[in-house]
Structure 1
Amino acid sequence: MTDKKVCPVQLVQPDGRRVHGSPYADAVTDVDTARLRGLYTDIVAVRRLDAEATALQRQGQLGIWAPCLGQEAAQVGSARALRPDDYVFTSYREHGVAYCRGVDPAQWPRMWRGVSLSCWDPDEYAMTNPAIVVGAQGLHAVGYALGAHLDGAEIATVVYFGDGATSQGDIAEALGFAASWGTGVVFFCQNNQWAISEPVQVQSPIPLAQRATGYGIPSVQVDGNDVLAVLAVTRGAVARARDGGGPGFVEALTYRMGPHTTSDDPTRYRSRADVAPWQARDPIERVRRLLVAEDGWDDAFAQRVHEHAEDTASAFRAGTLALGDPEPAALFDHVYSRAHPLLDEERTRFTDYLRSFEEAPS
C-alpha cells in the first residue's frame, strides 16, 4: 500500500525561523545576508511587475495576463539555481523565471499585447517564450535535453508547468520518454492548487511528485513559498541532470493568490477562507522576517528594494505603451518558413477586403 504522506522540504518557516537539521540546508550554505537580500529583492520586483501588468490589462493596454501572485518564491528560487547555459522551457506564468534569466521587462508585453507571436529571442536568454498549449513544453524539453546530451553539452534542461498540466497526455509522454532515455531534464511543477477552477485534489488522490516516482524518476516535494528550500532542492536536481544522472521531478507546493488569468474570476469557485491560510505563508513576508531575525534588514535596504521594484515596473509599462499596433496583413507573416500558395491567396483576398473600405464612397 502506497504511503500518501509526503513531507515537503522546508528550510524557513512562515514566521521566518529557520528549520534545523534538514540535509538540504547544506546546499545553500553559501547564501549569506547579501545573497538573501538579493533573493528578497527579486521576489519583490517580480510581484511589483506582475501587479503592473495586471493593471495594464485592466486599462486595456494588454489583451490578457497570467498573474503569478503568490508563486514568486517557487520561480525565483528555482531560477537562481540555474547556470546561464542551462535551458528553460516555460509555460505562461513564469514571469519570475524570465526576470531572473535577465529578460528586459520592456520585451515582455509584445505577445500579451497581441502585437507579436513572441516576446524575446530564446537563444539570447536560454529560455523559450510563454507556451500557451498546456503541457506541450514537456515534450519539447525532453527532446532538447536529449539533443544536448548527444552534442556533449553538460547542461540541465528545466521545464516548468502547473498542477493542471500533469493531467495532460503530453506531460505523461514526456515523463515516460525522459525515464526511458535518461535525459537530463528537471520537471518543475508549480502546484498552485488550482487548474483554473479545478482543485488539485480532483486531479490526483496522491501527491503529484509520486506520479513521477511511478516512472522511476527521482522526485521531491518542496515548500514552494520557501525560497531557500526551492533553491536547495533545484540545485540538487539540476546538478544531477548535468552530471548525467537522468531526469528529476520537483513539486513546489504554492498557491495562486490571484486569478488564473485576467479573464478569470476566482471568487466563483473559492472562498476567502480558502485563501487565508496561504496569505499567512506569503513568500515575501517570510524572507523579510528571516532578514529581520538575522540583522539583515534596515530602512535603507527596504528603500533600495522599493526603488528597484518601481524601476522594473516602469520599464514594463514603458515597453507596453511604446508598442504600436501591427498592420492587419501582418497576420500572415511567419506562418510558414516558405511561400505557401494557399496563404498567399488568403493574404491577397484579405488585403483586397481591407482596400475596399478605403475605396468605398464617403
Structure 2
Amino acid sequence: MVAPSTVPVRSEQTYPVQLIQPDGRRVHRPEYSGLISDVGPAELRDLYRDLVVIRRLDTEATALQRQGELGLWAPLTGQEAAQVGSARALDPDDYVFTSYREHGVAWCRGVDPAAMTRLWRGCAHSGWDPATVNMTNPAIVVGSQGLHATGYAMGAKLDGADIATVVYFGDGATSQGDLSEALGFAVSWGVGVVFFCQNNQWAISVPTHVQSPVPLAQRAAGFGMPAVQVDGNDVLAVLAVTRQAVRHARDGGGPFFVEALTYRMGPHTTSDDPTRYRTPADLEQWRARDPLERVRRLLERENLADEAFFADVQAAADDAAARLRRGTLEMPDPEPLMLFDHVYSTDHPMLAEERAGYAGYLAGFATTDEEARS
C-alpha cells in the first residue's frame, strides 16, 4: 500500500489571498506574487480576454435556453476569475473533474464552444471527448466527482505520473457525503488531488452560513489537509494559489483544498428564480467586486491596454458566442436508438432487451403511419 501523507496542515491563514483590489490596485503579497512573476502585460491581457469571452459565452447560452433551444443551462456569470485563474494554472497533462458550471474551465482546456451545449440540448450523452482535453463532462450528481477525481489521482500516484488531478465543486457539495469520503481517502493515502471549491455563497437557495458556521477551508483542515482561502473574483490570486496547490500535488505532497470566495450573479440554473431568496442589495454589493471590471481597471491603471484592445476582445467574444449559437442550432437530432449507445463498454443482455423493445415500439409508429396513408 501507499504510505499516508505527512504534510503539515496550514492553519495560519485568517483572510483570503488577494492580489488585485476591486478598484484595480495591486496588493503586495510576496509569498504569492512570486507565483505569478511570469505574468507580464501580454499574459494579463490574455487573462482578461478569457474572462470576457467566457461571460459572453454564458450570456449566449442563457439566451438560447430562454429561446427554447436548450433544455437547461447552469450560468457562471460572476465566477469567471475563479475558473480562468485555476484553469490557466494547469498543465495539459493534468486532469480535471468538473461539476456542471465549469464552462469557463472547459474553454480554457480547449473545448470548442459548439460542443458546450450538446448535453444541455439533449442531443448526446456528453459534450466532448474527455481524452482530447483531459477534462470530464459535466457531473450532475452533486459531489460525486470528488470520488471520481480521488480514484483517478490514486491511480496516477500508483503509476508514478507527475500530474495533478483537480476537482471542481460548489459550496453545497461540501455538505455531501461523497465529498467527505473523497477528502478522507485522499488525505489518508496522500494522493495528489486539488479540491477546488467555488464558494458562490448559495447552494441553490441555501446560503453558505447555514451549511457551515466556519469557512469551508477549515473543513479541509479537519481532515488534516492543507487549505487556502482565496478571493475568487481576483484572477491573479486564484492563479497563484492554484499554482501552489498543483505544485504541492505534483511534488507528492498529497491533496490540497482551495476555497475560492466568489458569487453567482445569475440563477442556480435557468429553472431557478434567485429573487425569491436573495436581496438586490446583496447582488449590488457583489457587482462592485466584478472579476472582469477588476482586471480592466488594473489594465487601465497601469496603461497596459487601450480602447482598440478592448474592442478587439469584445469582437473575439462575440465570435465565440456566434460559434456556440451556430453549433447549437445546427446540431442534428440524434436517432432514438442512439440512447442505448456507449452505456456500457461491452454488450449487456439487459440493455439489448431494452433496445429491442424500444425498437419495436418505434416500429409501431411506422405501421400506424402506413395505415393512415392507405
Please tell me the TM-score bracket, short chain as reference: over 0.9
Q: 1:119 aligns with which of 115, 127, 145?
A: 127
Alignment partners' CA distance in 2, 1:244 and 1:352: 55
Instruction: Quote how far apart the aligned CAs of 1:79 are.
Output: 0.5
TM-score by length of 1: 0.97
Alignment partners' CA distance in 2, 1:78 and 1:6: 21
Alignment partners' CA distance in 2, 1:22 and 1:134: 37
Aligned to 2:367: 359
Q: 1:198 aligns with which of 182, 203, 206?
A: 206
Structure 2 vs 1, CA of residues 5 and 28 (structure 1 numbering), >3 Å: closer, same or farther? Answer: closer
Gaps of 5+ in 1: none
The answer to whether the 8 A contact 1:224-1:230 is kept is yes
Aligned to 2:152: 144
The answer to whether the 8 A contact 2:13-2:228 is kept is no
Alignment partners' CA distance in 2, 1:4 and 1:356: 69
Matching of residue 309 in structure 1 with residue 317 in structure 2: yes
Q: What are the equivalent positions in structure 2 for 1:108-187 lying under 5 Å apart?
A: 108-187=116-195
Instruction: Quote how far apart the aligned CAs of 1:19 are.
Output: 1.0
Q: Deviations over 1:294-341 (max 9, x none)?
A: 001201101110111011111111111111111222222222233333
Alignment partners' CA distance in 2, 1:352 and 1:155: 48
Gaps of 5+ in 2: 1-10
Aligned to 1:46: 54
Q: What are the equivalent positions in structure 2 for 1:1-362 lying under 5 Å apart?
A: 6-360=14-368, 361-362=371-372
Root-mean-square deviation (Å): 1.4
Instruction: Quote how far apart the aligned CAs of 1:291 are.
Output: 0.4
The answer to whether the 8 A contact 1:9-1:222 is kept is yes
Alignment partners' CA distance in 2, 1:329 and 1:25: 54
Instruction: Quote how far apart the aligned CAs of 1:125 are.
Output: 0.4
Q: Deviations over 1:112-138 (max 9, x none)?
A: 111111111111101111111111111
Instruction: Quote how far apart the aligned CAs of 1:20 are.
Output: 2.0
Percent identical pairs in the alignment equals: 70
Instruction: Quote how far apart the aligned CAs of 1:348 are.
Output: 2.2
Q: Deviations over 1:67-122 (max 9, x none)?
A: 00000000000001111111111111011111111111111111111111111111
SS across alignment from 1:220 = strand
Q: Deviations over 1:14-46 (max 9, x none)?
A: 011111245211111211111110000000000
The answer to whether the 8 A contact 1:11-1:22 is kept is no
Q: Which amino acid aligns with 2:108?
A: C
Aligned pair count?
Answer: 360
Structure 2 vs 1, CA of residues 205 and 10 (structure 1 numbering), >3 Å: closer, same or farther? Answer: same
Q: Which amino acid aligns with 1:309?
A: A
249-258 vs 335-344, which moves further: 335-344
SS across alignment from 1:214 = helix
Q: Which amino acid aligns with 1:202?
A: V
Alignment partners' CA distance in 1, 2:333 and 2:304: 46
TM-score by length of 2: 0.94
Structure 2 vs 1, CA of residues 188 and 112 (structure 1 numbering), >3 Å: closer, same or farther? Answer: same
The answer to whether the 8 A contact 1:89-1:159 is kept is yes
